[in-house]
A and B are shown apart, each in its own frame.
Chain A
Amino acid sequence: MQVVIEQIINGLTIGSFYALIALGYSMVYGILKLINFAHGDFFTLGSYVGYTVLVFASAALTAYFGIWGMIAIAMLVAAISVALVGLIVERMAYRPIYASGRLPAVVSALGASIVIQNSIMIIWGPRYQAYPAALIPNIPLQILGFNISLLQLLILVMSFILMLSLYYVIQKTTFGAAIRATALDRDTAALMGINFNKVILFIFILGPALGAITGVMVGMYYRQISFTMGWNYGLKAFTATILGGIGNLPGAMLGGLILGTLEMLGGAYISSAWKDVFVFLILILVLIFRPTGILGEKIAEKV
């Protein structure tokens, strides 16, 4: 039992990565009905930016701000720079295409993904990069008798705070209501005086920023990053989005956590080599039996 629960904690850690990335997918899909294939690469980019800050500015930053301050700064720099890239991508690759329909947007998103991925490769090189070791002291903690590392705890707490604040913004604020309204019916929302461009601006700042912060956390957790990793995380995060109900933000968070846990348990107790296969099987089964996801509502097609 002890081991199972520890596996679940590991699963929740990965799950919170998926959940944070999934939020970015879900927001963009909710508003634009576009699968933003570049989102996984925003995550990678964030990871690399964080890596650069931590490796090259560590001495100076640690001296002034201490180790926690340095990590916070790395995350902040990653979030801001990737948000900027997100805005540029939206402006250059998506905005000119909204009017042309869904399929050109899919190709353009794939193109954007290729561009970002290869830019990362050109800037940082094609090899794996390693995050500095022991950034956060690897203190094993005992909570209620279960082993959990300090880093894990930190990741879980931080993801929880991030998700909660996003949830608050979306569900409780006026601007959040505007976003939800736009997701439901863009034209009517526009008639109610909601500025569509502002909504887009918001989702293309927040989504990539969340992705970037996740990237830094993944870097610290696994220590090894590669320029192609965004694709795998992206696809899993999207599976999480589907699992929770596409366009539904609480669903995306829940989906991420469930997916991470299932993946970890499947890997531990069935077969670790086939664990990614489980993930995609889950994706397919959900789409067959409950295409609206766990929290999604059924929408009948109007004839």
Chain B
Amino acid sequence: MNSNDRYVVLETCDITKRFGGLTAVSSFSFQVKKGDINSLIGPNGAGKTTVFNVITGIYRPQEGQVIFNGSNIEGLKPHQIVAKGIARTFQNIRLFPNMTCLENIMAGQHCRARSGLWSSVFRTKRQRAEEKQIHEVAETRLKQVGLSRYSNELAKNIAYGNQRMLEIGRALASNPHLLVLDEPSSGLNDAETRDLIGFLKDLRHEDLTILIIEHDMNVVMGISDWVTVMDEGAKIAEGPPETVYNNPQVIEAYLGKEEYEDDF
């Protein structure tokens, strides 16, 4: 499935991010190819979320570049990166808790709309048309993530699993080229996780590339086209899921060195 000549959507070139004396990510390079579901895995503290925060512009790396669709996006602000077509979710869900589910998704379309202060105050024809369209797209997205019946419910009042889906729906609402999900299955039960896998597989029809941090190996093996493994801030392996699964270095990183040596 993963041939080398396919279009590279996202590429990081030697990114390094330090916090004080701690190097969270060191000289990390990887590629995400168009249409793939690419998983970034690694033990806790490996620097996965930091890589995500660098890609989405929340952190600025000390060194390196982030190339998205052929242009360097390092140094852009998070909202500019969203406009370029990267949408994300957070490990610990960050919704707009006191807004309705529908409004959350409407807010996701912010960068795809243009109405400003004056057109909003005077409710110009264009503004009303745009607002109506935002509303319709939001309802469609809400249905896509299976939350239509919670449309007018405040986001903080719906169940945890639903909040995860709502956050994904909100990210999708910006019509991204690349969807970046930070541990989407954490906190979900088995049934919800299965639903999530099915949902992510369905998203392939949308001309969408997905980058995902995941702990649950069932999820990783079930959906990934390509897996990148990080440990201590660096890439230690990558490849199709089966290859990576049997890579001794990966096993070492996950299970610890001693146990690995005992096996020999």
Residues of A within 8 A of B (CB): 300, 303
Contacts and interface: CB of A to CB of B under 8 A. Distances in A.
B19 interface: yes
Contacts, number: 6
Nearest to A301: B58
A196 to B, nearest CB: 25
Contacts of B53: 303
A300 B53 CA distance: 14
Interface residues of B, number: 6
A231 B58 CA distance: 40
A300 B58 CA distance: 12
Interface of B: 19, 49, 53, 58-59, 90
A303 B59 CA distance: 10
Contacts of A300: 19
Contacts of A303: 49, 53, 58-59, 90
A300 B59 CA distance: 11
A303 B53 CA distance: 8
Contacts of B59: 303
6 contacts: A300-B19, A303-B49, A303-B53, A303-B58, A303-B59, A303-B90
Contacts of B49: 303
Contacts of B58: 303
A300 B90 CA distance: 17
A103 to B, nearest CB: 13
Q: Top 6 closest A-B pairs, CB basis?
A: A303-B58, A303-B53, A300-B19, A303-B90, A303-B49, A303-B59
B249 to A, nearest CB: 29
A303 B78 CA distance: 13
A303 B91 CA distance: 9
A302 to B, nearest CB: 9
B199 to A, nearest CB: 25
A139 B90 CA distance: 68
Contacts of B90: 303
A300 B49 CA distance: 15
Nearest to B49: A303
Nearest to B56: A303
A300 B19 CA distance: 10
B23 to A, nearest CB: 15
A300 B20 CA distance: 11
A303 B182 CA distance: 11
Nearest to B182: A303
A303 to B, nearest CB: 6
B153 to A, nearest CB: 22
Contacts of B19: 300
B19 to A, nearest CB: 7
A281 B49 CA distance: 39
A135 B49 CA distance: 66
A26 B19 CA distance: 28
Nearest to B58: A303
Nearest to A298: B20
A253 B49 CA distance: 40
Nearest to A302: B92
B58 to A, nearest CB: 6
B82 to A, nearest CB: 15
B78 to A, nearest CB: 10
A63 B89 CA distance: 76
A303 B49 CA distance: 9
Nearest to B94: A303
A132 B58 CA distance: 61
A303 B19 CA distance: 14
